Chain A
Amino acid sequence: MRISGPNLRGSGIEHDLRRKHPYLDYEQYDFDVVIGSAGDCYDRYLVRIEEMRQSVRILRQVIDKLPGGPINVADWKNMAPPKSHVMTKMEELIHHFIVVTEGLDAPPGEVYFAAENPKGELGFYINSRGGGVPYRLKIRAPSFVNLSILPELLPGCMVSDVPSRAGESGLRHGRVRQMNMLRSIFSIFAHHSCSRSAFRALRANASRKPMWTRSNEGMSKKQVESILGHPTSVDQ
Chain B
Amino acid sequence: MKKTTYVYRQGKDSVTIVFKDDKVQSKESTLSN
Interface positions of A (Cβ within 8 A of B): 197-198, 201, 210, 212-213, 215-221, 224, 228-229, 231-236
Contact = CB atoms under 8 A, between A and B. Distances in A.
A217 B19 CA distance: 9
Interface in B5-33: 5-10, 14-15, 17, 19, 22-27, 29, 31-33
Nearest to A201: B10
Interface of B, secondary structure class, is strand
Contacts of A218: 23-24
Given A219-B24, A220-B23, A224-B24, A212 B8 contact: yes
Interface residues of B, number: 23
Contacts of A197: 8, 10
Nearest to A217: B24
Given A212-B31, A213-B33, A220 B7 contact: no
For A212, A216, A232, the residue with the greatest tally of chain B CB atoms inside 10 Å of its CB is A212
Contact of B15 (A212, A216, A234): A212
Interface of B: 2-10, 14-15, 17, 19, 22-27, 29, 31-33
Contact of A220 (B22, B26, B29): B22
Given A212-B29, A215-B24, A215-B27, A221 B19 contact: yes
Given A210-B31, A210-B33, A212-B31, A224 B6 contact: yes
A181 B8 CA distance: 29
Instruction: Kindly list the 8 A-B residue pairs having the minimum CB-CB distance in the complex, ordered from nearest.
Output: A231-B6, A235-B5, A212-B15, A197-B10, A232-B9, A219-B24, A233-B7, A217-B24
Contacts of A212: 8, 15, 17, 27, 29, 31
